[in-house]
């Protein structure tokens, strides 16, 4: 099979004796301090992720350069994709029972994509990882009137994430204009991986492959390295993607293309019934292990360490269970990108992984 897997890249850099799983850290404002970055690498950061839903390409460039000056580790550019977001001109207070109107064409409160024609009264619309729950009370004049069921933090604010559970909107592109710019930038920078969000079927994954191929075909006209092609990470973030995963992996393998799978637990926890998440995670890991495909468990593993120097009991068990289930990589998001304790979070995760591996060895 052509291509280089995550394990192969890591072994090429660090040697064949290294055991998995390893740690991916998301970069952000708190990792821009060189001393913090050095500590994270020392404690076990084995790959760096940049979430391109935030910041700008010049900022991504600065962070890539900072990592590469300190270590030879893979860089992942995680594409923004088709995430629906709320756009507001201010912060709006809400309480259960309140109603507010959302436009699709700008205004005080609006969505960043137009999916009006695919919505119906009574449907749920969730905000901020499902902490704010609303129902469509009325649909008229290209506006949705939403009734607040659960108010979460009690405010609507700009750029909140939006989920409509169980829906796949046909009018929303999988790759945005910025995503295409980021793909070109990633190829120019020779990043090892590009990640695409909300993959539900083979065609979704192919959209990234086609975008990469189109840019490589035009490399003579651009600053794109010869004989270089980033690898692909597909993010599975709902039940539809989980059901399609074996078919996606097999179809790409038939084309001699190797994928890495990321379990995007943030959106999955909103899209699927919450009590299904542990079983979806285990099933996706099982599928990937059986098909010899690398799998990343992502989001919320040590979430409380964004604010505290130690994790909760349930978080340490969560990390250990992901190791025992057979994850190849564990990924931190806010724990490192926007945290008071980024290096401590890496050190803690590495300690849990090491203890799991000792346990596995004792068990034979």
Identify the CATH number of the domain in which residue 101 sits.
Answer: 2.40.33.10
Q: Are residues 91 and 76 in the same domain?
A: no
Q: Are residues 149 and 68 in the same domain?
A: no
Write down which residue in 133, 163, 193 finishes a domain: 163
Alpha helices in the chain (DSSP H): 6-14, 34-43, 57-70, 177-188, 202-217, 239-254, 265-271, 277-290, 313-325, 334-337, 342-362
Q: What is the pLDDT of residue 226?
A: 64
The string over 336-348, giving b where at least 16 C-beta atoms fall within 10 Å of a residue's C-beta and e elsewhere, is bbebebbbbbbbb
CB 234 within 8 A of CB 196: yes
CB 332 within 8 A of CB 23: yes
The string over 214-237, giving b where at least 16 C-beta atoms fall within 10 Å of a residue's C-beta and e elsewhere, is ebbeeeeeeebeeeebbbbbbbbb
Q: What is the pLDDT of residue 351?
A: 97
Q: What is the pLDDT of residues 25-74, one digit of tens each?
A: 999 999 999 999 999 999 999 999 999 988 999 999 999 999 999 999 99
Q: What is the pLDDT of residue 213?
A: 87
Q: What is the pLDDT of residues 70-103, one digit of tens each?
A: 999 999 999 988 789 999 999 999 999 999 999 9
Q: Cα(329)–Cα(43) distance, rounded to whole angstroms? A: 15
Task: Please spell the DSSP secondary structure of 248-297, one letter per residue.
Answer: HHHHHHHTT--EEEEEEHHHHHHHS-GGGHHHHHHHHHHHHHHTT-EEEE
Q: What is the pLDDT of residue 3?
A: 46
Q: Are residues 332 and 210 in the same domain?
A: yes
Q: What is the pLDDT of residues 339-354, one digit of tens each?
A: 999 999 999 999 999 9
Q: Is residue 100 part of a domain?
A: yes
β partners of residue 160: 86
Q: Is residue 310 part of a domain?
A: yes
Low-confidence ranges of the chain (pLDDT < 70): 1-19, 218-227, 364
Q: Are residues 207 and 256 in the same domain?
A: yes
Q: Is residue 109 part of a domain?
A: yes
Query: Using the 8-state DSSP alphabet, how is residue 197 labeled?
Result: S
Identify the CATH number of the domain in which residue 244 sits.
Answer: 3.20.20.60
Q: Cα(123)–Cα(157) distance, rounded to whole angstroms? A: 21
Write down which residue in 163, 197, 222 finishes a domain: 163
CB 156 within 8 A of CB 94: yes
- Domain hosting residue 197, numbered range: 6-82+174-362
Q: Is residue 27 part of a domain?
A: yes
Q: Are residues 77 and 95 in the same domain?
A: no
Q: What is the pLDDT of residue 204?
A: 92
């Amino acid at each position: 099979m052509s291509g280089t897997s995550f394990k192969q890249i890591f072994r090429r850099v660090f040697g064949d004796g290294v055991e998995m799983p390893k740690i991916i850290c998301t970069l952000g404002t708190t990792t821009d301090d060189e001393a913090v970055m050095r500590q994270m690498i020392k404690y076990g950061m084995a790959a760096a992720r940049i979430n391109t839903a935030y910041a700008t390409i010049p900022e991504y460039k600065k962070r890539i350069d900072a990592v590469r000056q300190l270590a030879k580790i893979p860089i992942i550019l995680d594409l923004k994709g088709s995430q629906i977001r709320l756009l507001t001109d201010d912060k709006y207070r809400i309480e259960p029972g309140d109603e507010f109107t959302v436009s699709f064409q700008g205004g005080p409160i609006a969505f960043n994509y137009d999916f009006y024609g695919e919505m119906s009264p009574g449907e749920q619309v969730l905000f901020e990882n499902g902490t704010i729950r609303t129902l469509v009370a009325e649909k008229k004049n290209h506006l949705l009137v939403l009734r607040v069921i659960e108010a979460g933090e009690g405010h609507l604010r700009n750029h909140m994430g939006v989920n409509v559970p169980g829906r796949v909107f046909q009018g929303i592109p999988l790759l945005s204009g910025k995503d295409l710019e980021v793909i070109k930038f990633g190829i120019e920078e020779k990043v090892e991986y590009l990640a695409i969000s909300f993959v539900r079927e083979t065609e979704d994954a192919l959209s990234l492959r086609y975008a990469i191929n189109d840019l490589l075909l035009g490399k003579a006209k651009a600053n794109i390295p010869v004989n270089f092609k980033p690898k692909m990470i597909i993010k599975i973030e709902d039940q539809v993607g989980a059901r399609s995963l074996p078919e996606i992996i097999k179809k790409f393998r038939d084309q001699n293309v190797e994928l890495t799978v990321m379990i995007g637990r943030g959106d999955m926890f909103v899209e699927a019934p919450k009590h299904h998440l542990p079983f979806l995670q285990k099933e996706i890991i099982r599928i990937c292990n059986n098909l010899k495909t690398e799998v990343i468990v992502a989001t919320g593993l040590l979430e409380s360490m964004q604010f505290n120097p130690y994790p909760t009991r349930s978080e340490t068990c969560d990390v250990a269970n992901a190791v025992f289930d057979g994850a190849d990589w564990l990924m931190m998001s806010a724990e490192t990108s926007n945290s008071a304790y980024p290096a401590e979070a890496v050190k803690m995760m590495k300690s849990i992984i090491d203890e799991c591996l000792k346990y596995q060895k004792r068990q034979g």
